[in-house]
Amino acid sequence: MKKRLSIVLGLLALAFPLFAQMHIPPVFKDTSGIRPDKMTRAYITPKRIVWVSNPTSVKDAFHLLEPNTGQADLENKNMCLLTSQKGDTASIILDFGREIHGGLKLVFSQCSKGETPLMRIRFGESVSETCSELKSITGNPNGATNDHAIRDFKTVVPFWGQIELGSTGFRFVRIDLLSEDISIFMKEATAIFRFKDVPYLGSFKCDDENLNEIWNVGAYTVHLNMQEYIWDGIKRDRLIWLGDMHPETSTISRVFGNDDSFYASLDLACEQWPLPNWLNGMSAYSLWYLIIQHDWYLHNGDKTYLNNHAAYITGLIDQIDGLVDADGSEHLAAARFLDWPSSPNKEGVEAGYRALLCWAMDDGAKLCRLLGDESHEKKCHDITARLKKKILPPNDLKQAAALMAIAGLMTPEEAATKYILPRGPKGFSTFYGYYMLQALAMAGKYDEAMDIIKAFWGGMLKLGATTFWEDFNLDWTENAARIDDFVPAGKKDIHGDFGAYCYPGFRHSFCHGWASGPTAWMSEHILGFQPLEAGCRKLSIKPHLGHLKWAEGTLPTPYGTVYVKHTKDAAGKVHTTVKAPKDIKIVKQ
């Protein structure tokens, strides 16, 4: 039995490195059902009391802002006293300073009646969300929801004890003492921050503080969604959506490096949606799979993993080949999807979808070349040649024009000047904005791209965002209030009043990894990091400072971290300093 236990523990240690650090109590003879938690926990004290119902029902709330022990005790010193009477519910809203993923730990002391009182807990990504009612109760289409993560519920709480509640994305929490004619001393109300304990190996800094903040917020947005698998959002869409993942994996490569959440996510997605199914049931998402595989391999160089997916890659290419006719017509699926804001423009989406297919086939050909599969490499080129017989106009859709530039179906200059730059950041989206920025870079429009980043992604920060949102529209900002306080009379609620499709009102996710594109873009184009060989073994450094005076930062690679600093002299010439591991060949351009 001891030998068997040792073998099981050894296998688990190989599969889960964290398991090797765990000391399983010896009473567990069978460890086959034990799976280690890859996430780390920390407790965060509130940073601000947003509101209390009244000072007589909520006394000494400031004690909740003081760091404490997390342990209940028998004394009632230095605690917040909640008292609810008929018609007077004790309520408090706490602000933890920034969006986090996790729950709430409450620690209590004495209760006046010696019973466990009833409380209501409401987590919110905005202050107004903590005060909202559920859509299922009110019928309000813009109401709050409990799908994907329970963020509004009632629970009894202990006295002289503690309780941990919830698992969602939030910054604010509202606590209501629902039991009447009762008082209870609340010693602590701390957020339980659950996150992946990985270092930020990539970095970015320049003389524009707005861009610095945007880079950091994009990195943090993705970090929160790096669970055991890569999620779309931490409140809603706590799922692996392969087609939405490319901006996240691009950011992960440039900030965190070779992270195991990538491999776990792609493996599980392919297991859940085996061929001939499309990933997530959407044909476009299977196209993104090929692009993601190529870009990740180019940066991280894991040939063993690529070989493990060879059968899926070539099987997917075969499936696509049978659905593209000789005249360039294709029949992959009836439904076309790029992103939600582009959906009404059917003609533009059709053009963009075909461009996405060309891009995927180009990357598919590169993958097959790496795998030594010449026949499938040729098949990808043949598919692209057939598709190019029928190039459709983008119908003024910025998303489509961006994809067409990337896929070589339109010159970047035409995409930029005719479709993407008109109206500036209006018409951008949090997901496909990354590809619009890429098209602008291809056209040499670096200053314009930086201005759009500051206006669009910076527009969320001006409204109090600490992570980037599922969707955003600059038209929403007119007369809109910030998310970190109550909405004044006559102002619009940026959270509750807007949104569409799958994200109306408070269902709207305020932490969505697909919105992190500017972080990857700034590392790629301002710092100028571009891998030329797998694993960044050969790395191009071609900075584009635009109006910036200097920029510096780091890039994680399988061989270590590369550091660059670019400084512009009085004549406008850029001088570059590079520090790189000896195994990496640097090509300055």
**Structural Rg of the chain based on CA atoms:** 26
Distance of CA 10 to the CA centre of its chain: 34
Angle between helices 246-255 and 283-300 (to 10 degrees): 10
Q: Round to whole Å and give the CA distance between 527 and 553.
A: 7
H helices of 309-424, in order, are 310-321, 346-370, 374-387, 398-406, 412-414
Dihedrals φ, ψ of 384, to 5°? -60, -45
Task: Report the top-level CATH class of 203-470+509-531.
Answer: mainly alpha
pLDDT digits (tens, 9 = 90+) for 352-390: 999 999 999 999 999 999 999 999 999 999 999 999 999
- Residue 501 CB partners (closer than 8 Å, separation 6+): 340, 343
pLDDT digits (tens, 9 = 90+) for 31-70: 888 888 999 999 999 999 999 999 999 999 999 999 999 9
% the chain with pLDDT above 90: 91
Range 394-406 average pLDDT: 98
Q: Which fold has domain 41-195?
A: Jelly Rolls (2.60.120)
pLDDT score of 5 more than 60: no
pLDDT digits (tens, 9 = 90+) for 466-484: 999 999 999 999 999 999 9
pTM assigned to the model? 0.95
List the domain boundaries for the chain: 2-36, 41-195, 203-470+509-531
Copy the structure tokens of residue 39.
Answer: 């996430």
Q: Round to whole Å and give the CA distance between 139 and 371.
A: 54
